[in-house]
Each structure stands twice: as C-alpha cells, then as structure tokens.
Structure 1
Amino acid sequence: MVFWFRDDAGIPLYSFDVRGKHLSEARHWSAPEVFGPRAHFSTAPPPASLLVRDVKRRDEGVYRCRVDFRNTQTTSFRYNLTVVVPPEKPVVVDRWGRVINATTLGPHEEGDDVLLTCRVLGGRPEPSVRWLVNGVLVDEEYEHNTGDVIENRLLWPAIRRADYAAVFTCQAANSPLVPPKEVSLVLDMFLRPLTVEIKKPAETGEGGALTAERRYEVACESAGSRPPAAVTWHKGKRQLKRITEELRDNLTVSAMSFVPTLDDDGKPISCRAENPNVTSLFLETSWTISVVYPPVVKLRLGSSLAAGDIKEGDDVYFECHVRANPPARKLSWLHDDRPLAHNATARVFHSNQSLVLQKVTRHSSGRYACSALNAEGETVSNELHFRVKYAPSCRSGGVSVVGAARGESVVIVCEVDADPPAAVFKWKFNNSGETLDVAADRYTSNGSASSLKYTPVADLDYGTLSCAAANEVGAQLAPCVFQMVAAGKPHAPRNCTLWNQTADSAEVSCVAGFDGGLPQRFLLEVYSGGDDKPRVNLSAEEPSWTLRGLEWDVRFRLVAVAVNSKGRSAPARLDDLLFPDPEKRTASESPLGAGAAGAASAAAAGAAAAVALAGAAWRAARRRRKPRKPPAPPPDKAPDLDDAEPDLIPNNYCDAGPASLRRR
C-alpha cells in the first residue's frame, strides 16, 4: 500500500491499495477535505507519482509518501511543495494617474516626455516588475506601494520620430515556471512633415518664366506627416484658394491653379505643409516667379509743366513710363499717329524715356504717344492731347486782292488762326496818303474771324486794308492785308488759234485779255450742233488747252472765256472743229494722191513743229511776264466806258467786243 501524509499528520490524505489485486485494479482514496478528486496516484510510467491538479495556495506544505510492502521493510519519502501564486495582470497609468485601457499610447508630439507607471498586485513569491521597449529591457527597478502593490515607473524623455509605433511592455514575473503577466502599449505620435517641394509647371518659358494672363497648374508635395499634412498656398501675403488635394499614405499632393498677372512678377509663391495637431511645426518652401508680359506704357507731360500754360517758344518734355519683362528693347514716339524721329534740326530730341521739344510751335500741337517693344509684343501708350497756345496769325498768307466797283459794297473777311481764339480785332486803311483806323462799329468779330463791309465811292477809297488780332498770348505780328482795287469782269481772250490738229486731237491757244483787276482763269467750252450746254468744259490758269477723244465727223463749236470773281468775259469764238473719219478719208484717196498727200503731210508736219516751237516760246514768255495792267489813257482824252461793264478800266490795246478766233 501507498499512503500520502501532509506535514506530521497521522492520517493519510491519499491511499493506494493493491493488496491482493493487480496494479490496474488498485483502490484509490483521496481525502475530500484536502485534494479530493484533484489528486491521483499513478505508477506508470515510472516513477510512481501523485499528480495534483489545480494546485491551490493552501496545498503548500511538506508531504510524506510511505510505501508498505508485504515482505520487506516500509519505505518513506518526503517532498516540500512550494506553491507559486502568479501576480495579477499589470495595470498602466499615465502621469496623471489615469488607467490606460487602450492598446495605444498617445498620440504624442515629437519631443514629449512619456511617463508610465506599471502597477502589479499580488503574487507569491513577490514578483519582479520591469519595462521593455520593442522587446528590449529598459527598466527593472520597482518599488513597493501600499499593500502588496508593486510599481515600476518609466520615464521615456523627448520622444523622436523613430519612437513612432514603439511597443512599451510591462512584465510581472515571480517564477520561471509561470509565464510572466504583461501588458503592451503601442506609441502613437503626431509627426510633422519631413519634406515639402514645389513642382514647377513644365510649360514655363526661358528661365522658368511664366506668361501673364495664362493659366498654370503648380503642384506641391509633402511627405512624412502623420496624419497627412495640410497644404496651403500663398502668393505674397494672400492665400490662394483654387487647390485640389490628393493623399497617398503619408504623402500629400496639392495642385494649385492660378493665372499670373504682371503684378505677380517677382512675388514669391509659397507652399506650407503642416500637421494641424502639431503646434508651431511646419515646413514651407517658396518659388519667386518671373512673369513675362508685353510692355505697360503710360505717357505723361513733364511733371514740372502745366498743360494749359504752354505757348509757342516754350521748351517741353514728355515722359514715357514703361514697365516690361523682359525689358523693352525699343522705344518709339508718335505725333498724330506718325513716327517722330530724333531730329536736332527740328529741335526734337529723344533722351532715354523722354521726348524733348525745344521752342514748340503751333504745329507741335496734336496727339502724342509712345510705344515700347519687347519679346512679348509691342504696346502703344495712352494718347496725350498736347496744346500749344499762340498769338493770332493770318490764315491766308500774302496780300489778298479785293476788287470792287465804285459804290459796290463788299464784305472782307479777315480770318486768323489763334489759340485761344482772338479776343480783339483792329482794322486800318492806307491809301498811300494816310493811315486811318477803322471804327469798331464798321466790323464784327466772332473769335476766329472779323468781317468788314466796305464800299469804295472815290479813287481815294482804293488802297490797303489791314486787320490784326490779339489774344491772351499776344498781338498778331504781321497783319492780314487786303489790296482794294477797282475791278470788273475780265476782257475776253484774244488771238485764239486752233493748231497742231491730228486725227484725234487738237490744241487751242489764246492771249489773255485784261483781268478786270482780279485773278482770272480761263474756260474752253465745246458745243456740238445746236446744243446750249457744252459737251466738254476745260479750265486752265493759262489760255491754252488740248482737246482729245472727240467724235469723228461731228462739227464742234469752240468758245473761250475768262472768268474772275466778278463774272465771265465776252466769249471768243473759234472756227468750227471737225475730225474726219479715218476710214472714209483713206477710202477716198487714190494711189497717186497718196504720194502727194505724203508730201503735204511732211510739209504740214514741219509747219506744225514750227507752230509748236512758237507756242512753247509764247508760253514761256507768258510765265515770265508780270500781271497785265491796263495802260493809262491819254490825258487829253477820257476813256470810253463799256456800257455793260461801267466799272472796268477800258483795254486800249485789245478789242473791247467779242474777240474773233482764227485758224492758224
């Protein structure tokens, strides 16, 4: 038999009886107040042993095994059973004593200090409490707290990015026979971005320049942030809003769309990546953009000049303000849309971005502009309307001849150019004997002109009228002069000749008659049949015309007249003109007549050449001759006056009546 006793007790707590039986039929007994069904004695496999399941702390003690044999001496064995009581599962609290029930620790920011306290309750023998980080023992110093609580406090200072996802494990162990009790926490962290980079658009110009008013897409990439970084864009100090964002793991890709303007040239575009959970930690990069654009041009009058006070003789200058990228390579000036070149003779000077006009005249007035050219294009500035004030001057140069008969009233208009308009007009009359001021009530003025109604009644009323004006700039330097002459209708042209006639052309020349004291011109009128209206009307400054393109076999009447402001002269009539049909003329000529006609043609050609030379000489002499004036009548004979033209001085060296025209 086998008996198990505890300590010095005389009563067994377990027996194994095989008396008279086979081992397999042995009878087992276990004291219910000790082990009960938890214990079982086993002989196989050897050695024989008492197996106790679900050991309790009370089971600890010294056990004795006694084996009684039938024929041999009893044998005893002693065993000291030490029961190890595992500690309870560790509990981790933070620096504020709060129990951490989660499996994660944090999240914490980089640089934080992590303070953890591991508390372990119970355990026999007393357990050891230690900290491991990523499986590496870092702290095994612990201390007793109240009761049977053991604590190990771990300080992990200034955590770094490398500590992200680190596993902090607290273990409590009191025997190698029992696995340690432990709890693990994974460190969670807020991580700032590691990188930020602007990806410039591929379609930039030379040197990465952007073109004004063109849309571009610019990307910014940031990596290393947890959670992914928030990306913001700024242009100068202004935040840009037109963005799209894409997240890939810990990479943030932000795309910004914008249209640069010329004001953006030289401004920085910045991309800022930041973790909103991390205070005062961000990454920023910037790109100073270069924006190319056509010149922006503005024209101004010189800052020291007053636009309303410029008068003839002043020196002025214009300033062309140009803003361009790339810089303008050409600057031009325009005056009334025409190029204005540097011209020292005309006192026009180009100096850098200024235009200098010395001693301006009224002709300097007008619209001024400047233009600038660079690689992006050419721009014309605003137009500057430039005004030069000047004293009055005569609108028509020279002496104006005004013809009037005695008793005839004429209105003489004195027109001046002035800026501002003339304020005062004065008229004077001079007849070589004296100079008289014309009373102000005799004429009217309207600013740019003055009108004088004048009626000569005697010879002394013919002479020179002059008018002069003044404005705020000054008085007129040279007056407007009007020569009053006794005038009437011109005399008819005389000695009119039809010559140099060909198959389809002819020339007409006359000698001019008396012009009536006024400028005259000459008309040649061509009539056919009984028409009252001329088929052809030719005007000339000299009485010489060429006729071409008239019809064949039509008889034309030619009339020459002179015309001045007083009217037309009497007509001078020429012999009728006829251009024979060449086909009819050729058909009527015989072979023999052709030879004679050839000789006649040769003679006629010679005569025509002579006449042409004579006509050319006459015209040259005509141009050299001074204007014709009528000779004075003999003192002992009064001039005969034409009843139709009583105010004309008679022409004693030409026919007063209609002139005759003859063929040369």
Structure 2
Amino acid sequence: MTNDSEFCVEWKSKSFPPIDCYAALKIMNKVYPELKTIVGSSVQLPCNVTTAPDDTIQLILWYKGSSGTGPPFYTIDARESPSFQKSKHFLLDSYKDRVSFNISVQTAVLVIDSVREEDSSEYSCRVDYKWSRTSISVTRLFVVVPPKDVIVIDNATGTRLHTIAGPYKEGTDLRLKCIAIGGKPLPTLIWFFDNQMIDDSYIVDNKTGNVENELLLKHLKRDFLDSVLSCKADNYHSLPPISASLRLEIYLKPSSVTITSKNEPLRIGRKIEMICVSKGSKPSANITWLLDRFILKEFRTTHSTDGMVSTSTLTYNPSPAHNGSTLYCLAENPRLFNSSIFDSRVLNIYFRPKLNLTLANDASFVVNGSETQLLCSVIANPEVTEIHWLFNGKLITNNSIKGVIINKDRLVINVTEKHHGSSFECIAMNSEGKARSNHLHLDVYSIPQPPKDCEIDGNRSANVFRVRCVPVYANVGKSQKFYLELYDSKRSVLLSTLEESNLPHFTLTESDLKIQNETYIFVIYSKNENGKSAEIVLSTESEKMMRRKADIKDFNLLNLPIIGIVAVTIIAIVAIVAVSKSLKCFLNYLQRNDANLREKEDSQKLANNKTPDVIPLSVDSL
C-alpha cells in the first residue's frame, strides 16, 4: 500500500472530485466508462453500493458536475431508518418525475428518463457506510443531440428548396448549399445522387457553428431528370441520418422530331394527313408546320401522359404551286430559348400539265415575211410525254403545213399575210392527264410604206421650206410615225431631223437649214415597231440659187420682143443675101430658130412657177 503522499498524487492525477486528500484516504472509489445517450431517451448511471459484511449504508449522495461537492441533487438518507428500504429520499424539483434510484439490481443505478441536452455532465455517487470507507462512483454522461434540421438553399436565388429542385434548363450549371442546423456532436454532411455519394466536403461555419456542404453540378444533362438529390446529416450511429431530399426538375430540349408519313408523290384533289412526332421535350414541345416560310394552321397536336412525346397531324390539300416546296415540322420547348429542331421534306406533287402559248421574246405581233417562233410553256409533274400542235383547230405536223417547223415545245413559222388572224394551240400529256393551251391568234403586220406625192414649197423671203406628202397606210399597227432628214448636197452631214405623228407634213426654218448657198437633200420615210419604210429622196437648191435663177428668168422675159424682131430681120437678110444657099442651110437655120423658141417658153414657165428646181434622185444615185 502506498503512503499518504503517493495516494494524494494519484487521486489528483485521476481527476477525482477534489475532496480533501487526507479525507479521501478513507474513501473507496470507482470510475465508470463514459455513457452516451440520445436526448429524450432514458439512461442508467451506475453507483457502487457494495457493502461489507456486518456493515450498512448510511447515506447516498448524487452530485452533478466535475467538482463532486456542494449540495447534492439527490439524497437517500438511511441514518435514522430501521432499514435502507425505508430511507428518506430528497430530490431537487428540476429532477422530479424523471429521476429515480434503483438499488435492487446488482449494480445500483440512477435512472434518468426523458434525457435533456443539459443533462450532459459528470455525475458522482457518494456512498457512506457505518463502518467502511466512503466510496465514490464517477460516470460521465454525454447526451447526443441530432441536428434540428437539414435545409437546402439554391445559391442562384437564395431560396430554400423543399421537395423539388428546379426546374432548371438543360445544359446549365446548378449550385446548391446544404446546411445542418445544430447537432451534438457536429454531424457529417454528405450529398448523395440517387443514393450514390457524390460530395462529402463539408465545413463548419464559424459564425453559426452549423455544418455546410456546397454542391456543384455542371452542365445538367437530360439523364438527371427526376433524379433524387439527398443531403444527409449523421452524428450518431444509433440515430437515422437527418436528410433533405429533392427531385430534380429539368427543362429539356426536344431530342428528336420526325415526319413519319410516307414520302411518296402527292396528287391534286386528294387531301392527306401528314404526321410529325417529337420526343424528349419537357415540358411538351410546341409543334409548328411551315411550307417554305409560311406557317400552316390546319393541324392538331396531342401529347403523351408524361408530356415527353408530342404528335401533330397536318391536314394538307396539295397544290401545283407547292411542287418542289419544302414542308417543315418544327418542334420547340416553349421554356427554352433556341431549342427548336426540325424535320423537312421536299414535296413531290403530281398534276396535269399547265400550258401557256406565247410568241417568243414576249412579242405582241408578228411582221409579214419574218420567221416567228411560238413557245408552248409547260409546267408539269411528272414531265410531259407528248406535245402536239393545232392550227385553226386541226392537228399539224412538220410536213402538213408549208413553212412550219415543229420542235417539241417550239413551233417556227415563216409568216405571210395569210396567217393574219390564224389560231394556234398546243396540247401536252403526262401520267396525270392531258391539257390544252390558250388560243394564240397571230396579228400579222407589215413594215410601213413610204409617203407618196411629196411636194416642196419654198418661201424665198422667209427662208422656209414646207414639205407635204400623202401618207400610205397598210396593216402596220397604230404607232406609225413620219420622219424627214435634211442633209447637205453630198448627204455627208445630217443637218436636221423632224418627226411627225399624224401626217407627213414638215416645215423647215432657217435654223434647220444651218448651211446656206448649197443644194439640200430631203430624205422622207415612215417607221413603226415593225420596221422602217423605203426612203423618198428629194433635192432642191438654196435661196441664193433661187434668186439667181429668178434674175435670169426676168432678163429673158424683158428681151423677148427684141429677140423676135432680130429674128425676123435676120430671116429677111438671109433670104435676100443667101437666096442662092442651099435648102440644107435654110433648114439648119430653122432648127436653130425652133430651139430659141423653146427656150423662150421654158423661161416663161419658170417665171410663173412658185417652187425652186426639184431634182428627184434615186436611192442608188446616192
């Protein structure tokens, strides 16, 4: 047995209640292992009440706290009782109805019911005997307190989530924070994805003392839809974890869209139903039908129970105008921007030929003598197998009409006036039927005829020329015009051009003449859209030349009597002097005299004429 000093050192080192060391020499003591219990449960704290033979228990005291001194919270006093069973019990009010002492078992125990968090402490049981040393039993009680709650916060919005997380957009990132409030000891806090641990990196918030775990899910996938995220807090093996579970809601883009109807030729007059199926969208996809860029409206759409499959039925009436157009079925999640996908189909629509018979180059008439081409424009699907031509209602071939050449959809004809008013048609056939074109009536026109009976009236004093012609009208259309071109004497310089719409009547003033003292050439013709007529070419002299000729004519008129006298005198002299000359000489003389007489007559006519000399010129002479 150790000495007193060694005992006191050992007593202190074992952290026994600091009872006076030398008083403790009389005490027998026992330290029990720490007990853990869950708040709200019952616990039994042991107390060593082993009694030596011929000895009895006088007093039992229960202390709470590490000191083991002070007033006990529970006292069992048997000092004045005939037996321990009839001892007196003293219990603090705060422990009434939930604390009792049971000595009937092998090891006496203090029973605490409805354990509270504040019950967690060190408990000492002191037993005083009549003869034996006092014994002390020490037990540490740890009360386990589960977390009060586990909550999940959406970092983006700061709101608490309860049973559903979302909905979130497919492809976005998700950040969630899990917080375990309270708990003794501090819990572990772990994230689970469909019961698979995905994150155990929890921390303690120094400000609140709560445990937190932040989860990052990058690029949400469609596979995450309806998955369960759980955040579990666990601080005692005998307690089930406290957790918060969330079901993931995700907006999903359509994964596919397909026009399921057979891709076969469509026919005019037969309404059909085109079916389009979209899958994978959540919420249900909106389906839109388009023909090229135009939205169609005659369709109905249904959705599956889970909304993931949408079926749209389009009622469509084929039209020839739509052949070759593209039909689109567009599926789009109404909650997701830029989520649309589409399927398309080029329409193959069969229809009878549509024919339009025209003159080539969009001409409105043909010119007599020209080679004219008729074009039978064909729109058909499938392609036409035959094209035929009709002339005045009768079928024609290459050899049936002179001057006609047929080359499938083109007909070439050498036009004559006899074709005026004739009717042409074309006929085409394909697998859908036969069609007949419009009637094309030929309007045959000729090029204009030149004006006729042109006259020039010259005014010397005013330096004005007036040209008057008579128009010649034929089957030339309504746009015929008349032109006069004024040239110099060599037709090398164009001096003026005049145009008249109604009649070939032209007036040229001094400003039009431009060059004086020279012969002018007048070129007159008519013209329309069919062509240009032959030219009428006239020539005249300038005003100065007109004055010179006029002077000559006046001189001849004044000397006409003298010439007559001289002629008679000459004849008399010749008769007297040359009687002997031969008859031949006399006849020669008479011929010369006749020439002079004709000159006199011409001079007289010139003096009476209002116009200058007009010299018609042929086209070849120019």
TM-score between both structures, scaled by the size of structure 1: 0.53
SS of residue in 1 equivalent to 2:149: coil
Mapped partners of 2:390, 2:147: distance in 1? 102
Equivalent residue in structure 1 for 2:245, among 177, 181, 184: 184
Shift of 1:199: 1.9
TM superposition shift of 1:90: 2.5
Letter paired with 2:298 = R
Deviation string, structure 1 residues 314-343 (Cα, Å, up to 9, x no partner): 432211000100000000111222111221
1:98 to 143, 155, 158: 158
Cα distance in 2 between the residues matched to 1:290 and 1:119: 63
**Would the alpha carbon gap of residues 91 and 266 (structure 1) be closer, same or farther in structure 2, given more than 3 Å must change?**
same
Q: Among residues 412, 418, 425, which one is paired with 1:362 in the alignment?
A: 418
Query: How many Å apart are 1:251 and its aligned residue?
Result: 0.9
Measure how far apart 1:138 and its partner are: 2.0
Aligned to 2:334: 276
State the Cα RMSD in Å: 3.3
Counterpart of 2:168 (choices 108, 126, 145) is: 108
Residue 245 in structure 1 maps to residue 305 in structure 2: no
> 1:198-597 alignment to 2 at 5 Å?
198-200=259-261, 208-248=264-304, 249=306, 250-303=308-361, 305-307=363-365, 309-311=366-368, 313-343=369-399, 346-360=402-416, 362=418, 365-388=421-444
Query: Does structure 1 retain, via aligned residues, the 8 Å contact 2:419–2:442?
Result: no
- How far, CA to CA, are the matches of 1:51 and 1:28 in structure 2? 17
1:286-325 Cα distance to aligned partner (Å, 9 max, x none): 0111001000100001227551x533x4432211000100
TM-score (norm 2): 0.57
Report deviation, 1:217: 0.8
Q: CA deviation at 1:155?
A: 1.4
Give the Cα separation in 2 of the matches to 1:83 and 1:305. Answer: 109
Whether the 8 Å CA contact 1:315–1:360 is kept in 2: the answer is no
C-alpha distance in 1 between matches for 2:141 and 2:281: 58
Q: Measure, in 1, the Cα distance between the counterparts of 2:106 and 2:441.
A: 128
1:45–1:351 distance in 2 versus 1, CA, 3 Å: farther
Q: Secondary structure at the match of 2:97?
A: helix
Q: 1:124: how far off?
A: 2.8
Query: For the residues of structure 2 that align with 1:36 and 1:89, how far apart are their CA atoms?
Result: 30
Q: Aligned pair 1:36/2:96, yes or no?
A: yes
Give how far 1:97 is off.
Answer: 6.0
Given that 1:265 and 1:290 are in contact with CA atoms closer than 8 Å, whether structure 2 keeps it comes out as yes
Which residue of structure 1 lines up, in the alignment, with residue 50 of structure 2? Answer: none
Contact preservation (8 Å) 2:162, 2:244: no
Alpha carbons 2:367, 2:415 under 8 Å: kept = no
Indicate which of 65, 85, 95 corresponds to 2:145: 85
Summarize deviations over 1:580-606 as a string: whole Å, max 9, x none: xxxxxxxxxxxxxxxxxxxxxxxxxxx
- Residues 372-412 of structure 1: per-residue CA shift (max 9 Å, x gap): 00000000001111244699xxxxxxxxxxxxxxxxxxxxx
- C-alpha change, 1:294 and 1:27, in structure 2 (3 Å) is farther
Question: Quick one: distance in 1 between partners of 2:209 and 2:94?
Answer: 28
Alignment length (residue pairs): 388
Q: Which residue of 2 aligns with 1:448?
A: none
Q: Secondary structure at the match of 2:165?
A: strand
Consecutive unaligned residues of structure 2, counting only runs of 5 or more, are 1-56, 448-473, 478-527, 531-622
Residue 10 (structure 1) shift: 6.0
Provide the secondary structure at the position in 1 that maps to 2:213: strand
Deviations 1:637-662 (A, max 9, x none): xxxxxxxxxxxxxxxxxxxxxxxxxx
Deviates more, 1:363-372 or 1:247-256: 363-372
Counterpart-to-counterpart distance in 2, 1:100 and 1:108: 15
Q: 1:168 aligns with which of 198, 215, 229?
A: 229
SS in 1 for 2:220: coil
In the alignment, is the contact (CA less than 8 A) between 2:275 and 2:312 conserved in 1?
A: yes
Q: Partner amino acid for 1:373?
A: M
Q: Amino acid of the residue matched to residue 241 of structure 2?
A: P
CA spacing shift, 1:235–1:305, aligned 2, 3 Å? closer
Which is further off, 220-229 or 176-185? 176-185
1:88 Cα deviation from its structure 2 partner: 2.6
Amino acid at match of 2:240: P
Contact 1:133–1:168 under 8 Å retained in 2: yes
* Contact residue 30 and residue 37 of structure 1 kept, 8 A: no
Instruction: Rate the CA distance shift 1:120–1:345 in 2: closer, same or farther, 3 A.
Output: closer
- Structure 1 residue 21 displacement after superposition: 7.5
Equivalent residue number for residue 205 of structure 2 = 144
CA offsets, 1:513-543, max 9 Å, x none? xxxxxxxxxxxxxxxxxxxxxxxxxxxxxxx
Change (3 A) 1:258 1:33: same
Q: Matched residues in 1 for 2:311 and 2:440: separation?
A: 51
Evaluate the alpha carbon distance shift between residue 186 and residue 27 of structure 1 in structure 2; reply closer, same or farther with a 3 A threshold: farther
Q: SS at 1:90's partner residue?
A: strand
Secondary structure of 2:321's match? helix
Identity %: 28
| Mean Cα deviation higher: 171-180 or 161-170 | 171-180
Deviation at 1:104, TM superposition (A): 1.1
Could you tell me how far 1:28 is from its partner in structure 2? 8.2
Question: Structure 1 residues 338 and 155, CA, compared in 2 at 3 Å: closer, same or farther?
Answer: same
> Which structure is higher in helix share?
2
5+ long unaligned stretches in structure 1:
202-206, 392-417, 422-471, 474-664
Amino acid at match of 1:4: W
Question: Deviation string for 1:133-161 (max 9, x for gaps)?
Answer: 22222222213241423322221111111
Q: Does 1:55 pair with 2:111?
A: no
Task: State the shift of 1:101 in Å.
Answer: 4.2
The residue identity in structure 2 corresponding to 1:50 is L
Change in Cα spacing, 1:304 to 1:192, as seen in structure 2 (3 Å) is closer
CA 1:47–1:257: 2 relative to 1, 3 Å: farther
The residue matched to 1:208 in structure 2 has which SS?
coil
- The change in CA–CA distance for 1:135 and 1:359 in structure 2 (over 3 A counts) is closer
